[in-house]
A and B are shown apart, each in its own frame.
Chain A
């Protein structure tokens, strides 16, 4: 069975400082991994995805994530936080293939202080 664990329910950073949102996954197969962002009263937006190509994945708005199979991790980072980054972030795993339904973590709420 696949699962995702987001290690922090809430992360608070100051504007201009680095962001680290942690995610560990469990999968019996070679997984596809994603990070989605959800701003208040807005739909889920795909930030980036890993599908067995390069292990360092670059996404939108300066975010990137590194797939580490040995650590079963897919942490999301950004060098410098912006106020507009404040949102809920979800780490997601998909088995893909004939199914393709996504399994979401519980989310990490990112707060950015001025």
Chain B
């Protein structure tokens, strides 16, 4: 179990540019979640996948945001035409599907990608 990894750890970009983040979940987990955390706040849910299917999207996920998990393994989160308000820590988490494991509801988090939009 190597844990959830995210790349890059830090990203500085200019307003209007596109950025893409990657998340590699724990290998046996079929659920993958994206959250956003702004300074002084708790993480907020953005979207999640079960295998390659995107099952839920938060209203926080504007049209400029898109997430994919093409083969049910790693996932990417892309932000188009970045705005200063997108500056935040983007967290990825993974878990098993409820019912398939004793600790099925536990989500394991990666270290996050800190995005700064200038």
Contact = CB atoms under 8 A, between A and B. Distances in A.
Contact of B111 (A42, A46, A102, A105): A42
A102 B45 CA distance: 7
B33 interface: yes
B65 to A, nearest CB: 16
Which among B43, B56, B103 has the highest number of chain A CB atoms within 10 Å? B43
A107 B41 contact: yes
Contacts of B41: 106-107
A100 B48 contact: yes
Nearest to B97: A100
Contacts of A34: 106
Interface in B45-102: 45, 48, 55-56, 58, 91, 93, 95, 98
B22 interface: no
Interface residues of B, number: 27
Contacts of A83: none
Interface string A90-114: 1010101111111111110000000
Contact of B109 (A43, A97, A105): A43
A79 B4 CA distance: 31
Nearest to A32: B105
B98 A90 contact: no
A106 B42 contact: yes
5 contacts: A44-B93, A44-B109, A102-B107, A106-B40, A107-B42
Interface of B: 4, 31, 33, 35, 40-45, 48, 55-56, 58, 91, 93, 95, 98, 103, 105-112
